[in-house]
Amino acid sequence: MKAKNNNDLIRLIAIILISISVIATGALLSINAYAKGDMGGAIGGGIIAAIILVFAIFTFIRGNRDLKKGFPLQDERSKRVMEKAATKAFYASLYLLLILGFLSDELIQFRDVSQATSVAVGGMAILWVVFWVYYNRKEI
């Protein structure tokens, strides 16, 4: 049990380090956008960095608490919830991409392909979170 707990501690530290690098990158992009006079990009980047910071703090506190109690970071149920959420989010994302494709000509005007891709990836992430919350609260 102790070796597994050490692996989970290393995994938790890696998650936090990656989160810090993503937050720092978002903050730098936000500062860069502000320096160029793009207030929308600065505010958007700041909001995204703040949201990631909140999730990183929540993940660290919850993971650290579980490790102190002797629980693993992931058990069979949490793995099952993540698999089920990922599966449903993948199928829903296919329909999201179809909808974006059909509506992008007339109703939704994208600046370029990268903006459309960003919207699609952001929508996929939101779908995964929604399905994860649903299946995490539901008995599996």
Highest mean pLDDT among 6-10, 11-15, 108-112, 125-129: 125-129
| pLDDT score of 125 more than 80 | yes
Q: For 65-89, how does the pLDDT look when each residue is reduced to its tens digit (9 = 90+)?
A: 877 887 777 788 888 998 999 999 9
Q: Where are the domains of the chain?
A: 1-73, 75-140
Comparing CA positions, the residue from 24, 26, 72, 62 lying closest to residue 47 is 26
Tell me which amino acid residue 136 is.
N
- DSSP letter string over 29-69? HHHHHHHTT-HHHHHHHHHHHHHHHHHHHHHHHHHHHHHHH
State the Cα–Cα distance between residues 101 and 99, nearest whole angstrom.
5
* pLDDT tens string 23-68: 888 888 888 888 888 787 778 777 878 888 888 888 788 877 877 8
Distance CA 29, CA 26 (A): 5
CA distances from 45 to 23, 40, 115, 118 (A): 10, 8, 15, 13
pLDDT at 5: 60
pLDDT at 1: 44
For residues 137 and 103, the answer to whether their CB atoms sit within 8 Å is no
Query: Can you give the pLDDT at residue 140?
Result: 65
Sort residue 37 into left (φ over 0), alpha (ψ -120 to 50) or beta: left
- pTM beyond 0.85: no
